[in-house]
Amino acid sequence: MSQIIHNTGTNYSLYYNVLNYFKTIMNNHPSIAVVTQGDISKIDTREFPAYPLGNILITESNFGTSVTNYNIQLIVADKIKNKDNESTGTSNAQTIPFYGVDDTVDIHANTLSIINDLTSYTQRGVQGFDINDDISCVAFAEEYNNGLAGWVATFTLTTHNDRNRCLFFLIKPDEFTTYIIEDCNTQQRYVAVLNQATFPIGKTFTSVEQPGDSPTYDNLVCYTVIDSTENTNINFSGLPVLPPGELESCAECIQWITPGKVWITIPGKWNEQYQKWINI
């Protein structure tokens, strides 16, 4: 079984992550045999070895002040199969609800239950998503000329998007200097524009691995500014300088980003016994 995507550390506002999320939960559902993505009328022009089929399609997206909204279309369908019914005289009577000459009613019952599972889990099991409006479900049978029956569920999926204006510079401000910086742990060097105009050569600062990353322990990195440069092949644009700002060395910076070390007001002296900074 595939691992279900968790909300922690996942940017659910990204198009790829939305698709991967729905593909994952459909793959993990015990009643879905095949998972596809895109226009189902184009996808299922061939026979699959097993059914039911789950399909995800994003039909539209829009940006709010701090959210991304996706119009989602989930389809769960099964191949219609003829039933071998017993006939008595000329009545050919069937047992309700399993009436008719095929299993379309059974398919509609089963696939609607699957859609209920998928949307309920999304609404209640993932903090990164919200479905605020009703979920519209429309039944179909052989609508796509491929012998399928099932349901199309349509809803608006809302994901958080802070739309930070300071993630990076699309145009570097004239007053900002480009620097060569060095990762304190790997000694890998990069060309970077910081999110402040200037920074002292030889000093160290705390930042994140990529502009836009959340400033959590897993994402924190220490960099030393080696020199300024005219190199235009920039690796990081708008790389944030996090508090406390200018630091004297990699060793001091690493103490700032190590989990479990507590700061008291202004750092002055590292106390190994209490594993925290104390004022001097």
First to last CA, the chain: 56
pLDDT in tens, 81-124: 876 655 444 444 445 555 566 788 889 999 999 999 999 999 88
Q: Under DSSP, is residue 117 helix (H, G, I), strand (E, B) or coil?
A: helix
The two tokens of residue 162 are 């802070």
At residue 87, the pLDDT reads 46
At residue 224, the pLDDT reads 96
Q: Under DSSP, is residue 204 helix (H, G, I), strand (E, B) or coil?
A: strand
Q: Please give the helix or strand (H or E) that residue 119 lies within, else none.
A: helix 104-125
- Residues in the chain with pLDDT values less than 70: 1-12, 43-47, 83-101, 144-145, 162-171, 259-280
Domains in the chain and their CATH numbers? 15-160 (3.30.2000), 178-278 (no CATH)
